[in-house]
């Protein structure tokens, strides 16, 4: 059974290159549909490197636990040290998160999980998801 997930990705170390590498790796997990990418200032960390961030919808056979494991593996392949307890406070080559499932029961909650700095990308991605869902 295939699942739809709302996800986010961000990088502030070689962001353009790492976005391209992450997108190439995500292809093997399912069908991904991306918002536009936005540069943002770091949030809740001290860094001089701006982040490149985007939302994406993933249609995949993986459940949320397996998907997060795959996301972590991609982050590590790109150089993120997930064993460092301070990794969330440091610059990173890639951060990929599941914001929530896109099921009829949970979609509204998942869309509310989008960080403020990505709100401008929500509308177009929601419209795309409605089109994708109606053709399923």
Distance, in Å, from the CA atom of 29 to the CA atom of 8, rounded to the nearest integer, reads 15
Query: Does position 43 have pLDDT exceeding 80, yes or no?
Result: yes
DSSP 114: S
Q: Concatenate the DSSP letters of all residues of 3-71 into one string.
A: EEEEEEEEESSSHHHHHHHHHHHHGGGSEEEE---EEE--SSS--SSPEEEEEEEEEESS-HHHHHHHH
Q: So what's the pLDDT on residue 46?
A: 86
Question: pLDDT tens digits for 79-123?
Answer: 999 888 888 889 999 999 999 999 989 999 999 999 999 999 999
Q: So what's the pLDDT on residue 60?
A: 98
Domain 3-98 CATH assignment equals 3.40.640.10: no
H/E element, 73? helix 64-77
Which range among 56-60, 66-70, 81-85 shows the weakest confidence by mean pLDDT? 81-85
């Amino acid at each position: 059974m295939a699942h739809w997930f709302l996800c986010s990705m961000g990088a502030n170390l070689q962001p353009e290159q790492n976005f391209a590498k992450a997108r190439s790796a995500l292809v093997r997990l399912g069908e991904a549909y991306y918002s536009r990418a936005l540069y943002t200032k770091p949030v809740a960390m001290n860094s001089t490197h701006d982040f490149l961030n985007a939302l994406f919808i993933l249609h995949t056979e993986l459940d949320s636990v397996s998907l997060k494991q795959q996301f972590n593996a991609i982050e590590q392949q790109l150089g993120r040290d997930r064993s460092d307890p301070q990794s969330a406070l440091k610059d990173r080559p890639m951060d990929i998160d599941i914001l929530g499932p896109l099921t009829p029961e949970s979609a509204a909650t998942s869309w509310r999980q989008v960080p403020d700095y990505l709100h401008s990308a929500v509308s177009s991605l929601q419209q795309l998801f409605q089109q994708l869902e109606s053709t399923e």
